[in-house]
Amino acid sequence: MLESLHVKNLALIDEAEVEFKKGLNILTGETGAGKSIIIGSVNLALGAKADKDYIRTGAEYALIELVFSLNEEQKKRIEELEFPIEDDTLILQRKLMQGRSICRVNGESVSMGQLRQLSGVLLDMCGQHEHQQLLGKEKPAQLLDAFAGKKLAELKDNLKKSYREYRQLQKELSENAMDEQTRKREMDLLSFEVNEIEEAALIPEEEEELEKSYRKMSSARQLQETAGLVYGITGYEEDGSAGELIGRAARELKNVIMLDEEAGILADQLLEIDNLLNDFNRSMADYQESLTFDEEEYARIRDRLDLINHLKGKYGQTVEGVLQELEEKKKRLMQLSDYEEYYRQLSGKLAEEKEKLLQYCKAVSEIRKAEAEELSKKLAEAMRDLNFLNVDFAVTVISDEEYLSEQGYDRTEFLISTNPGEAKKPLSQVASGGELSRIMLAFKSVFADTEETPTLVFDEIDAGISGKTAWKVSEKLGQLSREHQIICITHLPQIAAMEDVHFLIEKQIEGERTVTRIRELKEEESAMELARLLGGGEVTEAVMTNAREMKQMALKSKN
pLDDT digits (tens, 9 = 90+) for 228-273: 888 888 887 777 788 788 888 888 888 888 888 788 888 888 888 8
What is the rounded average pLDDT of the residues 367-378? 95
Q: What is the pLDDT of residue 24?
A: 93
Q: What are phi and psi of 10, to 5 degrees?
A: -115, 115
pTM higher than 0.85, yes or no? no
- Helix or strand (DSSP H, E) at 413: strand 410-417
Q: What is the pLDDT of residue 125?
A: 82
pLDDT at 52 over 80: no
What is the rounded average pLDDT of the residues 477-495? 90
Q: Which of 276-290, 327-341, 544-558 bottoms out in mean pLDDT, i.e. has the lowest?
A: 327-341
DSSP codes, 252-277: HHHTTTTT-HHHHHHHHHHHHHHHHH
Regarding beta strands 100-105 and 24-29, do their DSSP bridges make them parallel or antiparallel, or are they unpaired?
Answer: unpaired
Q: What percent of the chain has pLDDT over 70?
A: 96
Is-contact 274 247, C-beta < 8 A? yes
Residues 545 and 538: their CA atoms lie apart, in Å, by 13
Half-sphere exposure of residue 537: CA atoms within 13 angstroms, side-chain side: 2
DSSP state of 521: P
What is the rounded average pLDDT of the residues 96-103? 86
Q: What is the pLDDT of residue 11?
A: 86
Distances (CA, A) of 162 to 115, 344, 350: 34, 20, 11
Q: What is the pLDDT of residue 169?
A: 93
Burial letters for 415-449: b for 16+ Cβ neighbours within 10 Å, e otherwise? bbbbeeeeebeebeebbeebbbbbbbbbbbbbbbe
Is-contact 70 85, C-beta < 8 A? yes
Residues 124 and 23: their CA atoms lie apart, in Å, by 15
Q: What is the pLDDT of residue 129?
A: 66
What is the rounded average pLDDT of the residues 97-123? 85
Residues 382 and 373: their CA atoms lie apart, in Å, by 14
pLDDT at 175 over 90: no
Banded model confidence at residue 133, pLDDT cuts 50, 70, 90 = confident
What is the rounded average pLDDT of the residues 5-19? 89
Residues 77 and 71: their CA atoms lie apart, in Å, by 10
DSSP state of 195: H
Residues 550 and 553: their CA atoms lie apart, in Å, by 5
Q: What is the gyration radius of the CA atoms in the chain, in angstroms?
A: 42
Residue that wins the pLDDT comparison between 200 and 240: 200
Q: What is the pLDDT of residue 296?
A: 84
Q: Please tell me the total number of residues recorded for the chain in this structure.
A: 559
DSSP state of 401: G
Q: Which CATH number is 2-134+453-558 given?
A: 3.40.50.300
Residues 119 and 42: their CA atoms lie apart, in Å, by 10
Q: What is the pLDDT of residue 451?
A: 67
Contacts of 417-424 spanning 24+ positions with Cβ under 8 A: 417/391, 417/392, 417/393, 418/388, 418/390, 418/391, 418/392, 419/390, 420/390, 424/392, 424/393, 424/394
Banded model confidence at residue 350, pLDDT cuts 50, 70, 90 = very high
Residues 536 and 492: their CA atoms lie apart, in Å, by 11
Residue 38 makes CB contacts below 8 A (sequence gap 6+) with 5, 7, 18, 27, 489, 505, 518
Q: What is the pLDDT of residue 3?
A: 93
Domain borders along the chain are 2-134+453-558, 178-337
Residues 356 and 348: their CA atoms lie apart, in Å, by 12
Residues 148 and 141: their CA atoms lie apart, in Å, by 11
pLDDT at 149 over 80: yes
Is-contact 458 486, C-beta < 8 A? yes
Question: What would the 3-class secondary structure string for 312-380 be?
Answer: HHHHCCCHHHHHHHHHHHHHHHHHHHCHHHHHHHHHHHHHHHHHHHHHHHHHHHHHHHHHHHHHHHHHH
Instruction: Supply the mean pLDDT for the chain.
Output: 86
SS3 517: strand
Q: What is the pLDDT of residue 429?
A: 82
Residues 455 and 39: their CA atoms lie apart, in Å, by 13
pLDDT at 359 over 90: yes
